[in-house]
Chain A
Amino acid sequence: MEGTMTKVSIVGVAQTRFEERIASLAINELVYMVVRELLHKTGVSMKEIRSIVTASQDAWDGRTISGMTINEVVGGYLNAEAKVAADGLQALLYGAARIMSGEYTLTLVVAHCKESEGTPHAITNLMFDPFTQRHLGLDDVTAAALQARRYMRLRGLAAEDIAAVAVKNHRHAKKNPFAQRAGDFTITDVLNSPILADPIHELEAAPQSDGACALLLASESKARTVTDHPVFIIGMGNATDAYWTDRELGEAKALRQAASRAYRMAGIEYPAHEIDVAEISARYAYEELMAMEALGLSEAPQDMLARGDCEIGGRLPINPSGGPLCGNPVTVSGLVRVVEAYLQLTDQAGEHQVHGAQTALAHGAGGICGQNQSVVILRRE
């Protein structure tokens, strides 16, 4: 890493409320809402923006080249838009690279998904090996269930340990106005909710969600002209794992790798002490514990959770927004974690604010059982 690299900062964010079905808005209308709000908040005109990176998936949108749907509302006309067919956090990583190159001072990053328009089982079945796995009817949830069982066995975790994640996150979500699902559930409530695929219960899985989010990246010097409170990206890391049936499913090896890259870049040696708040893309409750471990935030995350350390006000709050369990349009997942981390570092998180947060971690994942993992570290000045 060279010392002369342009520092990248986030100068503004916007998100829609996540809902099970936003039937009144077409995808371009939904995305326009967040982009308009972002421009309004930052005072930046679309005329200044020449670089755009978006995240969406053709299979979810039911359209070949899903980026075409939102091209105009993200300011794509005659400009450099590119779409990652990956988790939204990947769009941020590429957007940051464009700014670090010195060629662009601003980059708009947008992710959207309306899960309600497609058929999740049939769509996620397309991730599976066509020769030996698709015909088994596998989908995202069934693969996650297999991973959950494996992880629980390796770590000796009980169903209650996993359910506790859902309890905490739904409680946090009560304070997040954008959350789709929230409530004071007990461990019993969680374990009594319908089983989707054993051991995963409904309240331990992200609900079907529609939504979008956007954020604006700027070079350091540009950021100074836009805001008095830029948040800097100080670490970035990504790694790809083996296909789900070719690896030890109970270990998040790629996430360890992605995290170590991000920490190295950020100069973080003791993440558990240096990170003040983390937003983790745990679309299933067990994933939060797995991720905390792989991110080096805890060696026994279930104990940390049981002690209340992961609550807002605890030693290291995890998913103060409620996380994906409380609303999670696929593809938006990792990017909205950054949006939330930004809100925390600029004291704009309202009721779910973690006081005094200086350094935040945001995590995103894509593919079956988190095959591709991304981590970013953010810091306020």
Chain B
Amino acid sequence: MPRRVAIISTGQTKHRAKRRDVNVRELITEAVTRALEEADIRMKDIDAVVIGNMEPFEGFLFPELWAVEGWGGYLKPSVKFNTGGTVGTTTAIAAYYYVASGIYDVVLAIGFEKQSEGHTQTAITTVGDPIWERAIMAGAVGNFAVMASTYIHDSGVTEEQAAKVAVKARRNACNNEYAHLQMPDITVEDVLKSRMLAYPVKLLDMCPQSDGACAVVFAEESRAKQLAPRPAWIKAVATAHEQQYMGDSPKRLAAMRSQVAASRRAYAYAGITNPRKELDVAEIYEVASFAELAMYENLGFCERGEGGKLIDAGVTEMTGELPVNPSGGVLSTNPIGATALIRVAEAALQVMGKAGKRQIDGVRTALATGYGGNAWTDVMILSRDL
């Protein structure tokens, strides 16, 4: 049996389109300092550091090693991951295994991205396979638009229902002091009338590009109990990837095989049979408004084709049966290398009862997901109960 592992603290930067007041190193420090202060520990209490980042967005090789002083890594074990959008959850899952294995007792996980410093479109274009895909790519927006069209065709979900997701995210973000896009007055109409990027995806249906960092401290059982009044225990982690090329996945988002597989594996591990009832909150990597609706179905929050009805019924609103992304989600904040780790941090905050104005009452069990690569999925389930 793995050792029990918990999240004991988190720290985030103020996420913004351009954090021109800091460099990458200072950006990381901002998040790490908050996480250490939250747990009232110092770098000497950290045994090892795992770091996630997508360095093509900054135009770097080993940016984390350049920035080492920013995260206190001197003479500490450390490792860098890069798996695309999922990298934040890849990093969280690695931190979990490093502690669960008994190798380290306290591990700091970091995700960071300063997207404003590089050329985002170029970095996203080069995600495409150079032989087969790159010349006929249309960026993240084109890709999501194509996926959304398949999902609309299969489920009958409407642009209005997707717009409700976009509204929910930006309104929830107003309760999150770290969120990038906070739009208290946004309406469904605003989303529908926003600039068409690639039909049916409009500007306000998409996530922004952000500068930001996130840090999360993982600890084994005795340290966790010692350092946190109410740790967020990790009940399950799971990863599932897709096949090789963008067009390999039948129906793409609408039947996302990796998300179905990873979530079912994690639910089974955590003993969850009815996720909508047994999860109290979810922080999912939704990336575009339509994607969130498809993900409700993939994650088993509702039946196939019912994603639109779930948002109509308000089930995933702050006051609903299963609030999704009280933080404002990726639609409000997206520093790629940190984005998935922010999902984990926000889920942990909810379990620890430290989510401030975005706190959902009585959270015992929370879900966090990562999305990236070629429709890859990571899942982590957190609980108040050991």
Find out whether A and B make contact in their complex, taking CB atoms under 8 A apart as touching.
yes
Chain A positions near chain B (C-beta within 8 angstroms): 1-2, 4-5, 26, 28, 57-59, 62-69, 71-72, 76-86, 90, 93-94, 96-103, 123-124, 126-130, 236-243, 246, 253-254, 257-258, 261, 366-368, 371-372
Please determine whether B80 and A85 come into contact, CB atoms closer than 8 angstroms.
yes
Report the stretch among B65-73, B209-217, B270-278, B353-361 that lies at the interface.
B65-73
State which of A28, A65, A94, A237 has its C-beta within 8 Å of the C-beta of B244: A28
B308 on the interface (CB 8 Å rule)?
no
Tell me whether B242 is interfacial, beta carbon within 8 Å.
Answer: yes
User: Hey, which chain B residues are within 8 Å of A57, CB to CB?
Assistant: 61
A366 to B101: give the CA distance in the assembly, Å: 24
A2 to B55, CA, bound (A): 36
A103 to B81, CA, bound (A): 20
Chain B contacts for A85, CB-based, 8 A: 55, 62, 80-82
The smallest C-beta distance from B176 to any residue of chain A, in angstroms, reads 28
Contact, CB under 8 Å: A239 / B56:
no
Cβ-based interface call for B150 (8 A): no
Select B56's contact among A58, A103, A368, beta carbons within 8 Å. Answer: A58
Give the distance in Å from the alpha carbon of A101 to the alpha carbon of B79 in the complex: 18
B239 touches A243 (CB 8 A): no
A57 to B97, CA, bound (A): 22
Question: Which of A4, A79, A83, A242 is within 8 Å of B74, CB to CB?
Answer: A242
Inter-chain CA distance A108–B257, complex, in Å, is 22
The answer to whether A68 touches B374 (Cβ under 8 A) is yes
Task: Let me know if B56 and A82 touch, CB within 8 A.
Answer: no
Of the candidates A97, A99, A236, A240, the one whose C-beta lies within 8 Å of that of B73 is A240
The answer to whether A123 and B61 have CB atoms under 8 Å apart is: yes
Which 8 A/B pairs are nearest by Cβ-Cβ distance?
A: A100-B101, A85-B82, A80-B239, A72-B244, A126-B61, A101-B100, A238-B77, A76-B241
Q: List 27 A-B contacts (CB under 8 A).
A: A58-B55, A65-B83, A65-B84, A65-B373, A67-B83, A68-B84, A71-B373, A77-B242, A77-B243, A81-B241, A82-B94, A85-B62, A86-B79, A86-B80, A97-B97, A103-B100, A123-B61, A124-B61, A129-B66, A130-B59, A130-B60, A236-B103, A239-B77, A257-B75, A367-B62, A367-B65, A368-B62
From known contacts A1-B102, A58-B55, A65-B82, infer whether A254 and B75 are also in contact, taking CB-CB under 8 Å.
Answer: yes
Which of A68, A103, A236, A257 lies at the interface centre, i.e. has the most chain B CB atoms within 10 A of its CB?
A: A68
Residues in A with CB closer than 8 Å to B76 are 239-240
B374 A127 Cβ-Cβ under 8 A: no
Min distance, Cβ B333 to any Cβ of chain A, angstroms: 20
> Does B84 contact A64, Cβ atoms closer than 8 Å?
yes
Candidates B62, B68, B258, B373; contact of A78 at CB < 8 Å: B258
The answer to whether B129 and A69 have CB atoms under 8 Å apart is yes
